[in-house]
Amino acid sequence: MIDIRFLRENPEVVKQNIRNKFQDEKLPLVDEVIALDEELRQNKKRADDLRANRNKISKSIGMLMGQKKFAEAEEAKKLVAEQAAELAACEAKEAELSDKVQKIMMIIPNIIDPSVPIGKDDSENVEVERFGEPLTPDFDVPYHTDIMERFCGIDLDSARRVAGNGFYYLMGDIARLHSAVISYARDFMIDRGFTYCIPPYMIRAGVVTGVMSFAEMEAMMYKIEGEDLYLIGTSEHSMIGKFIDQIVPEAELPYTLTSYSPCFRKEKGAHGIEERGVYRIHQFEKQEMVVVCRPEESPVWFDKLWKNTVDMFRTLDIPVRTLECCSGDLADLKVKSVDVEAWSPRQQKYFEVGSCSNLGDAQARRLKIRVKGENGTYLAHTLNNTVVAPPRMLIAFLENNLNADGSVNIPVALRPYMGGVDKIIPKR
């Protein structure tokens, strides 16, 4: 969410940003919120004037009573009563106008970074860099669920009977591999100086609307019936929410956190054949990075975060690339975003395994996350990035470490988490 003062002073900049995000239907909102904001400020001024006048008259009543000017005192009391009614109306109007302004401001997209490429959707994202040599095996690489089934490692049919589509049972070596990757990712980030956290898996509505746009909320979040609680779609939601309505000392920044959680997502809409199995599911686990920092430090932390993911994937012998997300592919709160994509030997193309985002002060403004510095308070900047999100990451791992005989190599970095074995052998 952008600053209303910035919008008030730079309406054309805000409108051009909306055009750059191909959301022209939101253009009228800029003029609408400016008009509402002007009405709100005029209403506030009238209310302030009434309060000041009430205080002045109230003081005079005491003086008049002391001077035994009872008639004049009674007239003054009537005037106070009349203005009290007007003040109450002004205060009600102020609450109504503030709510309208807030709702519109939460819909208007954040100002994107000047470096973001202009494009309509993810098809216009721009490749930045590749890391590792993409593999082209001289044998056919099976679909990821077929690989898992050879290890007796997945049961989708039972999961459908228990919970429906979009769920899974992982078992045996595949389940152990899943847990090993999560544990390795945790320790990888701790070794890089991040503080390990396990957050709440449910959050209140006030946190939800603070960390994401309404469109994202509708598409992702599961609501707990009868309670002011939502299941988290990623631990970023809880971790940023940790600082809601806080004033943190500048000397404590940056906060660098790595958090584990299960994640729950609606994943609405039809998906293609390449998104069957465990690619797009309603429940998964993830290791996340979150940073809360000074505004001037957020570009540096942005680069550090995505590089962490690249480095971790390379230690597991998985080639990756980074994609700069174009303007039309950015969620409304994001200033800049880079996706990390892993190579799929079976598909002979890359697919997304993580996303790194700089949200500027958008989340901090919504959640009132402020920093106390030498020259007063200011809004923090927040960033987040996926360390690893199995079981989707398992697709890349299994395909890139698969041998012709069906066995899967375990890279050196992961062996301590897999009982020291250098490969796992299929049971079928």
**Domain co-membership, 94 together with 242:** no
**Domain co-membership, 289 together with 243:** yes
- CA–CA distance from 334 to each of 2, 26, 212, 329 (Å)? 11, 17, 9, 10
Nearest of 381, 382, 384 to residue 295 by alpha carbon: 381
pLDDT of residue 274: 53
**One-character DSSP codes across 129-147:** EEESPPP--SSPPPPHHHH
**Which 3 state secondary structure label does DSSP give 347?**
coil
pTM, entire model: 0.89
Inside any domain, residue 117: no
Identify whether the C-beta of residue 135 lies closer than 8 Å to the C-beta of residue 359. no
Q: Which of 74, 105, 136 is the last residue of a domain?
A: 105
CA distance 378 to 401: 48
**Domain co-membership, 127 together with 101:** no
**Which 3 state secondary structure label does DSSP give 217?**
helix
For 313-359, how does the pLDDT look when each residue is reduced to its tens digit (9 = 90+)? 999 999 999 999 999 999 999 999 999 999 999 999 999 999 999 99
Asked whether the predicted pLDDT for residue 69 surpasses 90, the reply is: no
**Domain co-membership, 219 together with 284:** yes
In the predicted model, what is the mean pLDDT of residues 45-66?
75
pLDDT of residue 73: 64
- Backbone φ and ψ of 203, nearest 5°: -140, 155
For 369, counting Cβ atoms within 10 Å of its Cβ (0-12 exposed, 13-18 middle, 19+ buried), the class is buried
pLDDT, mean over the chain: 92
Least confident of 86-90, 167-171, 241-245, 395-399: 86-90
Range of the domain at 60: 4-105
For 136-154, how does the pLDDT look when each residue is reduced to its tens digit (9 = 90+)? 999 999 999 999 999 999 9
Count CB atoms within 10 A of the CB of residue 52.
10
**Domain co-membership, 96 together with 240:** no
**Domain co-membership, 45 together with 151:** no
Q: Where on the phi/psi map is residue 267: left (φ > 0), alpha (ψ -120 to 50), or beta? A: left
**Which 3 state secondary structure label does DSSP give 222?**
strand
Inside any domain, residue 192: yes
Using the CB atoms, write b or e for 121-160: b if 16+ within 10 Å: eeeebeeeeebbebbeeeeebbbbbebbbbbebbbbeebe
CA distance 118 to 327: 5
Q: Which of 71, 105, 139 is the last residue of a domain?
A: 105
Q: Which of 79, 105, 131 is the last residue of a domain?
A: 105
Least confident of 156-160, 274-278, 306-310, 372-376: 274-278
pLDDT of residue 54: 73
**Domain co-membership, 205 together with 317:** yes
Per-residue tokens: 124: 């216009």
Amino acid identity, position 283: Q
Note if the bond before 411 is cis, omega within 30 degrees.
no
- CA–CA distance from 98 to each of 32, 44, 85 (Å)? 13, 10, 20
**Domain co-membership, 320 together with 268:** yes
Asked whether the predicted pLDDT for residue 87 surpasses 90, the reply is: no
Amino acid identity, position 385: N
CA distance 114 to 228: 38
Residue 415 banded pLDDT, cuts 50, 70, 90: very high
Identify whether the C-beta of residue 281 lies closer than 8 Å to the C-beta of residue 395. no
**Domain co-membership, 238 together with 275:** yes
pLDDT of residue 72: 73
CA distance 371 to 250: 6
Inside any domain, residue 115: no
CATH assignment of the domain containing 18: 1.10.287.40
Q: Quick one: DSSP state of residue 112?
A: P
Inside any domain, residue 374: yes
Identify whether the C-beta of residue 317 lies closer than 8 Å to the C-beta of residue 409. yes
Nearest of 307, 68, 346, 103 to residue 189 by alpha carbon: 307
Total count of domains within the chain: 2
CATH assignment of the domain containing 369: 3.30.930.10
pLDDT of residue 53: 77
**Domain co-membership, 24 together with 149:** no
Measured at the CA of 228, the angle between CA 227 and CA 234, to 5 degrees, comes to 115
The CA-to-CA distance between both ends of the chain, in Å, stands at 53
**Which residue has tokens 């860099």?**
129
